[in-house]
């Protein structure tokens, strides 16, 4: 049994995932404030998680792909929160297989024009 599979089957991981599953689902909501609330909660969870194994499995299996989608959010604060979470997670667990989706998303974001601000 691989180490990540063992962690994914542990009670600590199951508890962590269950507590934050709602926030993961909120990331796809149409309301920008709900997405912002979910990102803020996930940022706090990533910052406070002491077990790097649990965080690594959760980040790689559940969170990373959803954060990449949030990098395209029309609300700047939500994009910033997504970047902050990715940065926190990389600082805590490193950059592994998920680099294949994170790096192209970051490059795309850097090469695109910012969203047009509406004039009053």
Q: What are the pLDDT digits (tens) for 76-107?
A: 999 899 989 998 988 888 877 776 667 666 66
In this prediction, residue 5 carries a pLDDT of 82
- Residue 86 burial by Cβ neighbours in a 10 Å radius (0-12, 13-18, 19+): buried
Rounded CA separation 62/111 (Å): 27
Give domain status of residue 89, yes or no.
Answer: yes
Give domain status of residue 117, yes or no.
Answer: no
Query: Using an 8 Å Cβ cutoff, are 84 and 43 in contact?
Result: yes
Which domain does 61 fall in, by range? 3-111
- Return the number of other C-beta atoms located less than 10 Å from residue 63's C-beta: 25
Give domain status of residue 116, yes or no.
Answer: no
**pLDDT digit string (tens) for the chain, length 120 residues:** 577 788 888 899 999 999 999 999 999 999 999 999 999 999 999 999 988 889 999 998 899 899 988 988 889 999 899 989 998 988 888 877 776 667 666 667 666 655 555 555
């Amino acid at each position: 049994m691989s180490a990540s599979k063992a962690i994914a089957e542990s009670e600590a991981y199951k508890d962590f995932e269950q507590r934050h599953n709602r926030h993961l689902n909120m990331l796809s909501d149409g309301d920008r404030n709900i997405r912002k609330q979910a990102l803020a909660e996930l940022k706090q969870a990533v910052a406070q998680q002491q077990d790097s194994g649990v965080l690594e499995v959760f980040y790689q299996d559940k969170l990373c792909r959803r954060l990449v989608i949030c990098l395209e959010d029309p609300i700047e604060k939500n994009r910033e929160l997504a970047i902050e979470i990715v940065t926190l997670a990389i600082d805590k667990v490193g950059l592994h297989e998920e680099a294949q989706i994170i790096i192209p998303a970051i490059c795309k974001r850097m090469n695109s024009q910012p969203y047009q601000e509406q004039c009053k």
